Amino acid sequence: MSKYTNAKVSTEFNDLLSAHSLFHGDNYKLIAPCHYLLNYIYRDCVIKKREYMFLHSKWIQDRFHSHVSAYRPVIDALIELELLKIKPNQNGAESYLHSEDESKSFTKAYKVTPKCAEMLTADNKEWLRKLHSDPQTRTTAKRCKAQKHRRLNPTGDLIVDTTRDNLFSLRYDRNAANAVLTATTDENRANNIIYSLINIETGDFEFERHKSTGRIYNAWNMMNSQLRAAFFIRHNNKTLFNSHVIDLRAAHPVFWAIYVKNSYYSNNLFNNTNNSNYSPNQFSILHYVTADEAFLAEVERWNALWCNPTVDPRDVIAADLNTSKDNVKALLNTAINDGRNANRLHLWIKANFPRLHTAWQGLGIGQTGVNISRLYESRLIRDNEFQAFINRMDGVKVMDEHDGLSVFSSPDDTEIESKIESIRAYIAQSCFDKFGIKPVIKSSRVAGLSNGSQN
């Protein structure tokens, strides 16, 4: 059987599926969408560092509807070929969840097998090689990417539209990118780099706001950070390099006390007031009993610690716990969403901020990080007025990094440092206006800038 024409599908993958009876005759055209499905699952798990990916049944059916009326026989064939697995539930049957987003769809959790991962890794390495070294492949990919961009209509969300346009404008120095890939010994990190480069080359990326967090997960902010220095943006006949990084120091911890306070007061106004219509942001005009004042004092003390411009609170905690600052960072990454109270940082919070800790227990700890991202981080960083401020700044483009920004600018921009300072000042003032605190906003230059020699 002849290989179905698709530059991404290797001969080995084609031969494996062709040997299965499902793919005989006209069904050989199923091979390409099977490769896309498996690659999509593997890419998501690699980039987002998770074992399984949940997929809507309708989404899968849409991938195969032009070839078969039902997709389940295709899934069964991929399982039989030891390329795909479905996560079992607690009873050992396949996971099955009704979807809230698509009323006529359900989701299951999928992952590729090690055998499939090895095959896809080889395929993607060859696909990237073609994109870099074969002029015809590169021209075709560039044309398809441009066509995809032209077909997109504005969403009305300035952040989403700007992120989309900047993603399509991203270019990278191939020599610099290959150097990063060659020097990477960790397989998962190498796969992340490969997928990131392919996604940018082909325009195969997402740029929608997620309802749960307000974040815009995309090929840039899910990319390995070592790779970002190789990228640049062509804008108004200028090459803008990834020159600076701006970020909030310890973004989730800095908002933690405000989140607990506002959530606690919105759900549990004390009995000594009948003002049940007060919003969480209006609590400060009320007078509570001494215990409540002690609670608010803890909030103020937490905010003073995490907003201290001269002392890093992670150094303070490291000294208290007799551990390293890097270990404290790791503890913070898990403690925010760890409802088991097993993390050492939980004990530190309980000992130093007992009222905040008690209130936190009733707020669904597992959702803390998600809620902070949506209610505070995204309202600050992914704010349309803030994006309009950036867009008015000449010679500057930014890409979202969840709790900060990658800044692109021209090497000959003599005013870039003052522009960086104005961005930092805007974020700090906006945070104070919205949430009553001024976090520490850090900025640094990106080392090893690309020379933009390859487009």
Per-residue burial over 328-347, b = 16 or more CB atoms within 10 Å of its CB, e = otherwise: beebbeebbbbeeeebebbe
Least confident of 102-116, 129-143, 353-367: 102-116
- Per-residue pLDDT, averaged over 16-45, amounts to 92
Helix 135-151 to helix 114-133 angle, to the nearest 10 degrees? 100
Bridge partners (DSSP) listed for residue 400: 405
- Model confidence at 274, pLDDT cuts 50, 70, 90, reads very low
The mean per-residue pLDDT over the stretch 70-94 comes to 92
Q: What's the token pair of residue 258? A: 């405000």
State if pTM tops 0.85: no
- Residue 1 pLDDT more than 90? no
Task: Kindly list the structural domains of the chain, giving each domain's residue range(s) and its CATH number in brackets, ordered by start.
Answer: 11-120 (1.10.10), 134-455 (no CATH)
Task: Give the three-state DSSP class for 199.
Answer: helix
- Radius of gyration of the chain, Cα coordinates, nearest whole angstrom: 25
Neighbours of 252 (CB within 10 A): 20
Residue carrying structure tokens 């995490």: 306
What's the pLDDT tens digit per position in 306-315?
A: 999 999 999 9
Per DSSP, what are the bridge partners of residue 445?
A: 244
Q: How far is CA 441 from the centre of its chain?
A: 20
Distance CA 363, CA 341 (A): 14
What local confidence, expressed as pLDDT, does residue 342 receive?
67
> Two tokens at 346?
């939980």
Q: Are 256 and 345 in contact (CB under 8 A)?
A: no
- Determine which helix (DSSP H) or strand (DSSP E) holds 374, and give its type and residue range: none
At 135 the pLDDT is: 93
* Mean pLDDT (whole number) for 331-335: 82
- Residues contacting 148, CB < 8 A, separation 6+: 203
What sign results for the dihedral spanned by CA atoms 225, 229, 230, 231?
positive
pLDDT of residue 184: 93
Q: What angle do CA 259, 261, 264 make, to 5 degrees?
A: 100
280 pLDDT band (50/70/90 cuts)? very low
Per-residue pLDDT band at 420 (split at 50, 70, 90): very high
Give the pLDDT confidence of 188-241 residue by residue, as tens digits.
899 999 999 999 999 988 888 988 899 998 899 999 889 999 999 988 888 999
Token readout for 349 is 């919070």
Task: List, in sequence order, every residue forming a beta bridge with 397; answer none if it has no partner.
Answer: 408
Contact of 138 with 131, CB cutoff 8 Å: yes
Confidence of residue 100 (pLDDT cuts 50, 70, 90): low
Q: What are phi and psi of 36, to 5 degrees?
A: -60, -45
Residue 454, pLDDT score: 54
Per the CB < 8 A criterion, the answer to whether 403 and 431 are in contact is: no
Helix, strand, or coil (residue 409):
strand
Condensed to tens digits (0 to 9), the pLDDT of residues 371-409 reads 999 999 999 999 999 999 999 999 999 999 989 999 999
* E strand residue ranges, 38-149: 53-56, 84-86, 97-98, 106-112
